[in-house]
Structure 1
């Protein structure tokens, strides 16, 4: 028998079955991954959030597999065609492909030529010729001629002559070969190892296409094609620029189809003991083998092979997107500082928004430093007055159109008024326009024009990237790789999981968080998040975590899942501002009694906390991992896992691609990481690419191991292609 789902998961994730069983039970009972990872370490044996996400995904896939297995068994049994051998093969199949191969002969299908031949009684002829090649096909076929007749399925043309008899027998064998599960398994394996994908440009697109020029005459083993290349090829085919075709590597080498059997045809012949020894039926059997591959099996398996290539490429692309999104969400926050947000524009002006330390809008304005008005000095004066009036310390500049021109304006402001002590940064504004026009923005900023909401979003992103970016559909943030070409449902599920894990890793201030942020807290959803904000607006701020139980729709189970991730700063109980779960408060009380301190005196008291032996406080409910987590949290409650805030400084005088030259060393910000390298914003309105081979002075298998979105890096310019707007960079500063 096949191992249980729990045993298979344990093998895949390389943990004990008991860990899997306990975790599956919690997931089935409605527990969330962030809650299990943070507060049920004893139960899971310390499974990480990454392992838990994999477990959750694979659990669903394996359960769907078992559901399909049961449906196949039921369908075959209803046909009274189940045998002990077939049942064993089905129950031992480890993946859906093998299951479907076994079910293929029993699947309901439209009336095929092979079925018509069966009805006409030609299967004995097929069996005889396959079993004994010494029989003369034409002589034997004469015995199977039959007039047209009618069946329950409809009219049957019968067998008019010898040629029809042999053709019908051939259809029967072709269908038999194409539905033979072990043979399909062998052929699939060979194709996966030896298939070569070729691409040719469509003739009338050759001289006008520039996007897919690298693939106009291309071939590569399908097993070696990286995800970004596969998605580019598939997009080129979808847009009717490229023609894709699969060949066996032997066919590529020969550049023609030989009269001999190719390797896949040879596998078919070998499986059914067909060997052309010049016996009477050998030529007919060899032709049957060749026809079965070229007209039926090859088409099916090549389609399957291309689908697998696409699925593999999509999976990789989704993973890349998820890693980039996580890095962006967990980027360093500037913190609660009064910030001026600038959404640059030329003709329509630069939109200005000033927000306080909690993100509330203090005032807005529009300045026109660029053509056609060119009110440079007036714009500087306006910004100076706003900075003085509201004591701003940060200026966030969106990186869209006119960003470097606006950056120069702010540099001039800082230079002319050093006493303001302003720090300016250019940050990504990807998705800001989407947010500005959203329903959420209308609710948050009802009195602001859409054009000004972007400036608010830009300023808030600098203060707290996570809190602001959760308001935007992750697919609009601009860190994906061929994001519109992948399975949108899988992409959405993966990105939602990334956002959920990021939000819960940082924690949320329940008294200031937006509905968009609250809905990602473990156990909460949009409806409960709305209820929390409504309660907060009507009743005032929460002073205790237990007050959350008064919120409509937030019951004990939801409270259990969410409470540890919701913070109440300056509340009645200092523990409510920490990641210590309310269920652990009694344990903290026991510690307080033993050390003879109140909670305020214990929090942050490293001397006392380091002297406590965690083993002393373990019991049936709280194991050593939980006790250690509690003591660690008490040292610095509500600690932010994000790194210290840093900024990139773009080089003065380098504002367009024309200002670049090889050898120039610049500072930049990683905007996107792909399987083939990293894109860097160096302040010229066109990101440069550091190829994977130029990321480090060593072999790099995964770019994410070296860089992440939002990271500040130093790069050297290698080449500049102004016409194609391509900038090649290297992080290997000692080499050109």
Structure 2
């Protein structure tokens, strides 16, 4: 471990050195991020998954940066050009781009105007010009004429090319110009010559400019996409005169010499031909990286909130996948996720079997005692909602409800190998209806089957680095799965692959063991039966639950390594494992002194605190703390709305410029960032998250465009 890097991480991430050292050591020993976050709190100081990942990423970057510094020092030293000052400058560089700037003059160069001039023997002339001596440059240039340099003007021009490259290769000048462009440059976009923007997707960018320093990530990605599609032309302008003046002050030693005008010309050439094009590329690359990081963070946060939507347990669901010509597919799914019935109805164009379709729905309500209809939000969704609402109002035996769920990714899953294996005899559309039903019953278990990028809660996710996006979303899903835990007897391969420490081999062994033995009755079966190796068992078992097994502790997130401590604690206060979760035990545990029992049981306070939580609520699902979907029985039309009207809605997506809220219309309504709160916020995620149930107010209704704008600020609240 490198102490300098650890000190830097500690300072930048505001984390204690001891915690960082512990994290790096635990990772090196092969422990997973979820395992460290949950079961090694005493070593890390209770760092969470995000902090552990940040430490690891920061350390890896700094190690790679140090390696590059050492390589650059070696390469320059091999040329015999390394000085103590140069070495010191390289070691002080805090970014890779700064190291590359320093190394730039020493790199093997491709053929350039300057390298050709050097080859033609003009480097000494360039040095004489840069000395700013009061000499006759033209006369001196005559002595440099040869077969390749035929005139004095050619000699001076060649020497100027060399000077221009020297200026361009100067690390401090590049750093200054990069900083100037990043802080004071202006990014411009316009409609590309000959291009058309028929859909007006980029209308606001047809003649647009903004300071580089202030441009928002979503605008950067929009500009990049428009440029990539050949609709926009984009560039960054800097204050050329100011920067050229800066370079002249740095380089012109004596204005009265002949050299002055030559060097001024070389400065302009260097700036326009060599420096600005490459610096602009670097600044735009930086903007893209920042924008991608922001987009990935927003996507990850939205995904996390979506897949942690509370499951609607113990309900009979009718999944409804809307369509026109091919008919609406229906799937009755039991509380245990078994598929009991598959049907198809044709209420819409071109069939128009409205009454017949309603009868099918009401018959299914009665036969299967349906609690909720889960309607996909795709094509024909609102017409289907009307059908369901009518059927519910006419059905008097039970108060059936319905909910609109996002069907994003359902078709991707339905056509996947996994879906084909699960339902080989069903068509893609019928599998979609099952997925739509199960998304309501257990969003986490169903959504892990789908490529996260297809779930539809991102912003420009197709414009960002795919590898980084995949890694980030995998991390989010893994964090969620391990925080919730899985039922080892019912968990699918799709969800087991996210469990800490499990590999494909170990998952296959668990599935094989289940199939052979019917069920797993205790956690220790997996290690005793050699299903899992001791290391895999250690890393994974705390995140897998055995419900109704031989040991109540197997239903909790208590790790088997702490069972002895948990049993000793129960014994000490006069209870047994049979009392876990009972009210009397809960009251007794509430009165425990953590410091006292930590010493008494020889365990750290973090572990003891987690044990106590599990003994009080063995089957607690922390997703229950989140808001459940809004169930409805009647439909809302845009014509029903009035400005200022108060509504309840569900946040479907959070983006840089606001949030989209489902209030029951065909399209989600936008709450602009300025209408989320009356306080200043940098990002909508400070106020709302995907899945939140919000009270909102109709701000504006555009009937022509079928568009509604909302506000979360109560118009009736008067500021003092």
1:266 aligns with 2:237: no
Q: What's the counterpart of residue 318 of structure 1?
A: 296
Q: What's the counterpart of residue 186 of structure 1?
A: 176
For the Cα contact (< 8 Å) 1:651–1:667, is it kept in 2?
no
From the superposition, tell whether residues 135 and 662 of structure 1 become closer, same or farther in structure 2 (CA, over 3 Å).
farther
For the Cα contact (< 8 Å) 1:187–1:267, is it kept in 2?
no
What is the rounded CA distance, in whole Å, between the counterparts of 1:113 and 1:553 in structure 2? 67
Q: What's the counterpart of residue 247 of structure 1?
A: 237
What is the rounded CA distance, in whole Å, between the counterparts of 1:194 and 1:469 in structure 2? 44
1:728 aligns with 2:700: no
Secondary structure of 1:246 counterpart: strand
Offset, 1:133? 4.8
Offset, 1:644? 5.2
Q: What's the counterpart of residue 461 of structure 1?
A: 439
Offset, 1:58? 1.8
1:135 aligns with 2:135: yes
Secondary structure of 2:309 counterpart: coil
What is the rounded CA distance, in whole Å, between the counterparts of 1:661 and 1:274 in structure 2? 72
Secondary structure of 2:678 counterpart: coil
What is the rounded CA distance, in whole Å, between the counterparts of 2:351 and 2:690 in structure 1? 36
What is the rounded CA distance, in whole Å, between the counterparts of 2:134 and 2:380 in structure 1? 83
For the Cα contact (< 8 Å) 2:627–2:692, is it kept in 1?
no
Q: What's the counterpart of residue 614 of structure 1?
A: 594
Secondary structure of 2:622 counterpart: coil
Secondary structure of 2:86 counterpart: helix
1:224 aligns with 2:207: no
Offset, 1:323? 0.8
Offset, 1:378? 2.8
Q: Deviations over 1:478-530 (max 9, x none)?
A: 01101100111111111110001111111111111111111111111344323
What is the rounded CA distance, in whole Å, between the counterparts of 2:130 and 2:616 in structure 1? 80
For the Cα contact (< 8 Å) 2:700–2:709, is it kept in 1?
yes
**Structure 1, unaligned stretches of length 5 or more?**
148-156, 252-261
From the superposition, tell whether residues 483 and 550 of structure 1 become closer, same or farther in structure 2 (CA, over 3 Å).
farther
What is the rounded CA distance, in whole Å, between the counterparts of 1:477 and 1:551 in structure 2? 38
What is the rounded CA distance, in whole Å, between the counterparts of 1:492 and 1:347 in structure 2? 36
For the Cα contact (< 8 Å) 1:532–1:551, is it kept in 2?
no
What is the rounded CA distance, in whole Å, between the counterparts of 2:195 and 2:703 in structure 1? 23
Q: What's the counterpart of residue 574 of structure 1?
A: 552
Q: What's the counterpart of residue 630 of structure 2?
A: 648
What is the rounded CA distance, in whole Å, between the counterparts of 1:534 and 1:678 in structure 2? 45
What is the Cα-based RMSD across aligned positions, in Å? 2.2
From the superposition, tell whether residues 186 and 33 of structure 1 become closer, same or farther in structure 2 (CA, over 3 Å).
same
Matches within 5 A, 1:17-416: 17-147=17-147, 157=148, 159-205=149-195, 208=198, 210-248=200-238, 250=239, 262-274=241-253, 277-416=255-394
Q: Deviations over 1:677-711 (max 9, x none)?
A: 00122333222211100112222222112111122
**TM-score (norm. length: structure 1):** 0.92
What is the rounded CA distance, in whole Å, between the counterparts of 1:726 and 1:205 in structure 2? 28
For the Cα contact (< 8 Å) 1:206–1:216, is it kept in 2?
no
From the superposition, tell whether residues 178 and 645 of structure 1 become closer, same or farther in structure 2 (CA, over 3 Å).
closer
Q: What's the counterpart of residue 254 of structure 1?
A: none
Secondary structure of 1:322 counterpart: helix
Q: What's the counterpart of residue 406 of structure 2?
A: 428
What is the rounded CA distance, in whole Å, between the counterparts of 1:377 and 1:443 in structure 2? 36
Q: Deviations over 1:19-39 (max 9, x none)?
A: 111101111222111111111
Q: Deviations over 1:259-297 (max 9, x none)?
A: xxx12112222332446x343221111111111101101
What is the rounded CA distance, in whole Å, between the counterparts of 1:701 and 1:381 in structure 2? 51
What is the rounded CA distance, in whole Å, between the counterparts of 2:439 and 2:111 in structure 1? 62
Q: Deviations over 1:645-686 (max 9, x none)?
A: 53336795644x676564444332211100110012233322
What is the rounded CA distance, in whole Å, between the counterparts of 1:215 and 1:58 in structure 2? 36
Q: What's the counterpart of residue 508 of structure 1?
A: 486
Q: Deviations over 1:35-89 (max 9, x none)?
A: 1111111100121222112122222222222232233233223333322222222
User: How many residues were matched structurally?
Assistant: 712
What is the rounded CA distance, in whole Å, between the counterparts of 1:364 and 1:64 in structure 2? 56
Secondary structure of 2:143 counterpart: helix
From the superposition, tell whether residues 409 and 611 of structure 1 become closer, same or farther in structure 2 (CA, over 3 Å).
same
Which one is further off, 526-535 or 583-592?
526-535
What is the rounded CA distance, in whole Å, between the counterparts of 2:450 and 2:478 in structure 1? 14
What is the rounded CA distance, in whole Å, between the counterparts of 1:46 and 1:173 in structure 2? 57
Q: Deviations over 1:415-436 (max 9, x none)?
A: 2223223221111111111110
Secondary structure of 1:144 counterpart: coil
1:706 aligns with 2:687: yes
What is the rounded CA distance, in whole Å, between the counterparts of 2:511 and 2:398 in structure 1? 36
What is the rounded CA distance, in whole Å, between the counterparts of 2:353 and 2:197 in structure 1? 46
For the Cα contact (< 8 Å) 2:546–2:555, is it kept in 1?
yes
Q: What's the counterpart of residue 512 of structure 2?
A: 534
Offset, 1:472? 0.4
From the superposition, tell whether residues 526 and 679 of structure 1 become closer, same or farther in structure 2 (CA, over 3 Å).
farther
Q: What's the counterpart of residue 716 of structure 1?
A: 697
Secondary structure of 1:639 counterpart: coil
What is the rounded CA distance, in whole Å, between the counterparts of 2:243 and 2:73 in structure 1? 30
**Structure 2, unaligned stretches of length 5 or more?**
none
1:623 aligns with 2:614: no
What is the rounded CA distance, in whole Å, between the counterparts of 1:203 and 1:116 in structure 2? 37
Secondary structure of 1:388 counterpart: helix
From the superposition, tell whether residues 348 and 208 of structure 1 become closer, same or farther in structure 2 (CA, over 3 Å).
closer
Which one is further off, 11-20 or 126-135?
126-135
Which one is further off, 671-680 or 694-703?
694-703
Offset, 1:305? 0.7
Q: Deviations over 1:618-651 (max 9, x none)?
A: 3697311111111122110131111355333679
From the superposition, tell whether residues 470 and 89 of structure 1 become closer, same or farther in structure 2 (CA, over 3 Å).
same
Which one is further off, 100-109 or 301-310?
100-109
Secondary structure of 1:130 counterpart: helix
Q: Deviations over 1:93-144 (max 9, x none)?
A: 2110111111111222213222232233322211121122522321221122
Which one is further off, 553-562 or 219-228?
553-562
Secondary structure of 1:713 counterpart: strand
Secondary structure of 1:134 counterpart: coil
Q: Deviations over 1:224-244 (max 9, x none)?
A: 000011111111111111111
From the superposition, tell whether residues 207 and 352 of structure 1 become closer, same or farther in structure 2 (CA, over 3 Å).
closer
From the superposition, tell whether residues 530 and 722 of structure 1 become closer, same or farther in structure 2 (CA, over 3 Å).
farther
What is the rounded CA distance, in whole Å, between the counterparts of 2:515 and 2:478 in structure 1? 25
Secondary structure of 1:281 counterpart: helix
For the Cα contact (< 8 Å) 1:649–1:668, is it kept in 2?
no
Q: What's the counterpart of residue 14 of structure 1?
A: 14
Q: What's the counterpart of residue 150 of structure 1?
A: none
Secondary structure of 2:714 counterpart: coil
Q: What's the counterpart of residue 154 of structure 1?
A: none
Which one is further off, 350-359 or 79-88?
79-88
From the superposition, tell whether residues 724 and 489 of structure 1 become closer, same or farther in structure 2 (CA, over 3 Å).
farther
